[in-house]
Amino acid sequence: MLAPLAIVAALELVRSTTLGFVTIRDRLLLDVIVAVAFIAFSFVMMRAMREMTVRVGRQNRELLALHTAGLDVSSELALDLVLKKVVEQARALVGTKYGALSVVGEDGRIKSFITSGISDAQREAIGPPPVGHGVLGVVLREGQRLRLDSIQGHPRSAGFPANHPVMRTLVAVPIVCKSPFVGNLYLAEKEGGATFTDDDEESLARFAVQAAIAIDNAHLHQQVADLAVAQERLRIAHEMHDGIAQVLGYVNTKTQAATEYFLQGKTEDGLGQLRELGSAAREAYGDVREAIVDLRTLPGPSQSFEDVLREYADRWMEQTGIATQLFVDPTLTLSSGMELQLVRIIQEALTNIRKHAKATTAKVDLRRRDGILFLSVTDDGVGLQQTARTPTVFPRFGMATMRERTESIGGRFVIESTPGSGTAIRVEVPLV
């Protein structure tokens, strides 16, 4: 307001020096015209600046919401929870009453349907999710964007099911994934009864990109998990084959020895062989039962890696009576495949302690140092016996199994033991 008055004064000074005498009436008329022009210009500039401020504020809120969505996508949250957050952030940014997101697989069936703005009871009362035959089919099946001021006025509108909230305005965009999934993200009923704008549509499209990344990440994670399961099954099959082959070889040796003793009339020696065979059978049966329990001990969505180890160590200590200490570095972040192999190595190491060490204490230590994962399983038992193995000794192959599992994750396996001074199993794995 002061700037136009200052400019008018300057113009008055210039005019008086160049035009000379002007009547007061003409002077006032010219001054009023110039002042009104500058005041109008100021109001236009203020309005433009206010609109620019609003736009910049919206862009900042959108960047913050997209940043938050990106953090959620990169975290280990479940897919439905990530998609729920994407929908809610988009709805809050644009300012709508309702939002939803659907994910459809290759078979055309809905894999996930996420809603925001309605309660669980309302959602249940509405019934099954939309299959995309009406307006949403334009987005879901044909990959087109939609921005409608009246949903009911669209030629593809098929109406709403019973108990569905009233929706008049709609903006919807497709979710384009690299994985074999498609989807759509849509918002309805902008607050205040306003219609959706180009900016609303573009903002929603950017949130759809975040949703697509989350869906692709979940698909890749599932593929990695499936591959890890397949590899683990193959490794277990290999271990069982080798183990059963050795056990059967032991059984065959004992059976032949017992038969020979009985043929020679050495009944007591034959019975001794049978007793050893029975003892071996009981030990093999115990190993199988323990292996079944171990296979059920896996980290997953319901239990973290540390929780699984702690539960297993507590159960093992209760069953064996061996005092056990467990330390897991809380800063460790490992892949699911590495967690699986480490759990198996620790289980095998503790099994060996139970069966052979005659120990009173055991310690499991897992920590990260200088980019390397260090695992140690130690005991105060009798140590490894260095005597040569004979065909009549019941087979033990846990060390080879632990070594193979360590090498499968790119690590180094070391055994340190002195007879009478305990044993230490050490694993070192570089962390990329």
Residues 6+ apart with CB under 8 A from 334: 305, 342, 373
- Which residue among 219, 240, 274 closes a domain? 219
> What's residue 390's pLDDT?
46
Q: Residue 395: what pLDDT?
A: 45
Q: Is residue 381 part of a domain?
A: yes
**Domain match, 92 and 173 both:** yes
**One domain, residues 96 and 187:** yes
Tokens of 410: 């790119």
Residues 48 and 80 both lie in one domain:
no
> Does 134 fall in a domain?
yes
CB atoms inside a 10 Å sphere around CB 309 = 23
- CATH code of the domain containing 136: 3.30.450.40
- 87 and 205 assigned to the same domain: yes
- Residue ending a domain, among 155, 189, 219, is 219
Task: Specify whether 426 is located in the same domain as 343.
Answer: yes
261 falls within a domain? no
Report yes or no on 175 lying in a domain: yes
> Does residue 236 lie within any of the structural domains?
no
Q: Is residue 251 part of a domain?
A: no
In a domain, 389, yes or no: yes
Are 35 and 146 within one domain? no
Within-domain flag for 70? no
Residues 193 and 310 in one domain: no
Q: Do the beta carbons of residue 73 and residue 214 sit within 8 Å?
A: yes
**pTM for the complete prediction?**
0.48
Same domain? For 311 and 429 the reply is yes
Residue 183 belongs to what domain range?
Answer: 76-219
Query: Do residues 144 and 98 both lie within one domain?
Result: yes
Q: What is the mean pLDDT of each run of 10 residues along the chain (432 residues)?
A: 71 68 70 77 84 73 62 61 84 88 78 85 80 64 78 73 82 82 85 86 85 79 69 66 69 86 88 84 68 59 79 86 92 83 89 88 93 94 63 57 88 89 92 78
- Does 39 share its domain with 123? no
- Residues 108 and 213 both lie in one domain: yes
How many domains does one find in the chain? 3
pLDDT for the residue 209: 84
Identify the pLDDT of residue 413.
94
End position of a domain, from candidates 219, 235, 265: 219
Residues 43 and 92 in one domain: no
